[in-house]
Structure 1
Amino acid sequence: MFDRIGEFLGQYLEFDRPERQAYVSQDFDALCEMLRVGDVLLVEGRAKISSGIKYLTQSTWSHAALCVSDQTSGAPCELIEVTLEEGCHKIPLTKYKGFNTRVCRAVSLDDDERKAVARYAEERIGLRYDKRNIFDLARYLLPFPPIPIRWRRRMMSFGAGDPTRAICSSLIAQAFQSVNYPILPTIEMSSAAGASKWHHREVWHIRHYSMFMPRDFDLSPYFAVVKPTIKKGFDHRKITWAEPEELANTEAEAGASSIPLGEGDTESGGNGQSQQVG
């Protein structure tokens, strides 16, 4: 019974709502050409669960996926992701055509390490989604009663602790930690044993993989943000801008086709759902 309820809940929360996306800036062809094995693709989701994650994390990015196959090998681009409904599985990059995305690339990794990161994720295909992690993340971000941030991680355990379960960002964090690559480590200054009190060294502490969120790959100073359009080659001098007369005519046509809204009315899309404005 609980499995059926979970399946229904997953379908409801992950139902895609394209009308929620006001503007798409992605150049999909450039993305396909530029994406490489080991890259992290952050996605601005449009489903109900995506809205909740974006609210909790105060970030544009609600989902993360790992590239495990790119066009340099002659194969289509493929990603590993973990979703509420399907768990850990492999998908084509085309699933996120029409979404706003960001590519985060780990610097200093060689080809063998990138393949090791991808292989780690592929070996975990079939894992189920760790639903408890979502509730624990919410408790961490919205604590009650209020607890200082520096104490929360020591007082809470994240997720079910079941090795057969994962979430999107935690699986990717584990994959990079498997090759000792940092994402957002805690760095402390510590006195070396037997040294003078003036001699200190940096000590890096690995954060537990379940504490990572999609935005952490964007915030990490060890991941480069790669923009496909710029990487492909962008020259503003080649842009053909609309003439002022054309722009005025376009605005006039748009204004004539719009229907004024009366007091108390709401703007809705073709399927009757309220459109997101702003």
Structure 2
Amino acid sequence: MIFRLLGKVRNSFVHASKNHLGSYVVKKINKKKEPYQLHYPNDVADLKRILLPGDVLLVEGETGLSDWIKIFSTHTWSHCALYVGDQSLFASTKPKSFVEGKPNLVEAVITRGVILSDIDKYKNCNLRICRPKNVTRKERETVIRFALGKVGLPYDEENIYRFMSLPFNEKSRPTDDIGASKAGRYTCSSLIATAFRQIGLDVLHFYDKETKKLVPYHTSQIQPKDFDLSPNFEIINIYPSTSKKPMGLFRSLFLKHKSA
């Protein structure tokens, strides 16, 4: 009995120490870095024309924390947001601390929680659009409604600390909740993964050798890169603002005839 109690005390101490250290490290490195390598300039107006409500926007972040996430995940994308279309009316019902610019994104941001924001904030970042496959308009609305309902909730900081490569991190099974999602806390990717779970769409699976079945990862373990890797999402091309976009056949023939 006494050993079990001591074990619980030790685990609580390690858990608290880990979170305290993780919080300190995150605050230190979660600052904008210079210079940022933007591969192609973005045309935000064109982005808004391409995006559909329910699309996922992947972002290569600008902070030291973003770099750490990229190193840990061995992938480019360190953040993601859900495009929800113009939500100015809905935003008027929320505290201003949870709204940025002309709101058309829902995202979970560390130190701020789940907020409404404007895609313009990412115009100087490398971006990618992931579009859910075989999803109806009604299902998209269900996903968006779920995400909007979480605006104002806190960020799942415990989740991000668990991802940190600290010596006392224990390994987790793919089906384990590694954060505090049961307490209504979310990371950027777990929020969107949980939203799509409402319509039965799982972002990524693992193969269970014992049951010989594909089993979905717990939403708390989904990372931004998983939307890029998922067979349930397709990549939508974003053309640089300085590039020549492909023309339709009739427009191409018209221009050739005009120049002749």
Report matched runs for 1:89-168 at 5 Å.
89-138=115-164, 152-153=172-173, 157-168=177-188
Q: 1:26 to 1:138 in 2, by over 3 A?
A: same
Q: 2:107 aligns with which of 70, 81, 93?
A: 81
Shift of 1:86: 1.0
Aligned partner of 1:48 in structure 2 is: 64
Aligned partner of 1:245 in structure 2 is: none
Q: CA separation in 1, counterparts of 2:33 and 2:154?
A: 24
Aligned to 2:191, the other structure's residue is in SS state helix
**Kept in 2: contact 1:84–1:129 (CA 8 A):** yes
Are residue 68 (structure 1) and residue 78 (structure 2) matched? no
Shift of 1:161: 4.8
Are residue 35 (structure 1) and residue 51 (structure 2) matched? yes
Report matched runs for 1:199-210 at 5 Å.
203-210=213-220
Q: Which has the larger radius of gyration?
A: 1
Aligned to 2:217, the other structure's residue is in SS state coil
Are residue 234 (structure 1) and residue 246 (structure 2) matched? yes
Aligned to 1:186, the other structure's residue is in SS state strand
Number of residue pairs the alignment of both structures matches: 217
Shift of 1:129: 1.0
Are residue 213 (structure 1) and residue 223 (structure 2) matched? yes
Shift of 1:108: 0.5
Q: What's the Cα RMSD here?
A: 3.9
Q: CA separation in 2, counterparts of 1:155 and 1:225?
A: 26
Aligned residue identity for 1:59: H
Q: 1:153 to 1:90 in 2, by over 3 A?
A: same
Q: CA separation in 2, counterparts of 1:145 and 1:78?
A: 37
Q: CA separation in 1, counterparts of 2:29 and 2:136?
A: 38
Which ranges of structure 1 fall in alignment gaps of 5 or more residues?
192-201, 239-278
Report matched runs for 1:259-278 at 5 Å.
none
Which ranges of structure 2 fall in alignment gaps of 5 or more residues?
1-20, 88-101, 252-260
Q: 2:233 aligns with which of 223, 234, 243?
A: 223
Shift of 1:162: 4.2
Aligned partner of 2:75 in structure 1 is: 59
Q: CA separation in 2, counterparts of 1:78 and 1:221?
A: 26
Shift of 1:23: 3.2
Q: CA separation in 2, counterparts of 1:77 and 1:136?
A: 31
Aligned partner of 2:191 in structure 1 is: 171
Shift of 1:27: 3.0
**Kept in 2: contact 1:21–1:46 (CA 8 A):** no
Q: CA separation in 1, counterparts of 2:27 and 2:169?
A: 33
Aligned to 2:84, the other structure's residue is in SS state strand
**Kept in 2: contact 1:88–1:129 (CA 8 A):** yes
Q: CA separation in 2, counterparts of 1:91 and 1:62?
A: 17
Aligned residue identity for 1:160: A
**Kept in 2: contact 1:133–1:167 (CA 8 A):** yes
The one-character-per-residue Cα deviations of 1:225-266 (angstroms, maximum 9, x if unpaired) are 001329x9525xx9xxxxxxxxxxxxxxxxxxxxxxxxxxxx
Q: CA separation in 1, counterparts of 2:82 and 2:237?
A: 16
Shift of 1:98: 1.4
Q: CA separation in 2, counterparts of 1:116 and 1:145?
A: 36
Shift of 1:137: 2.2
Q: CA separation in 1, counterparts of 2:138 and 2:176?
A: 36
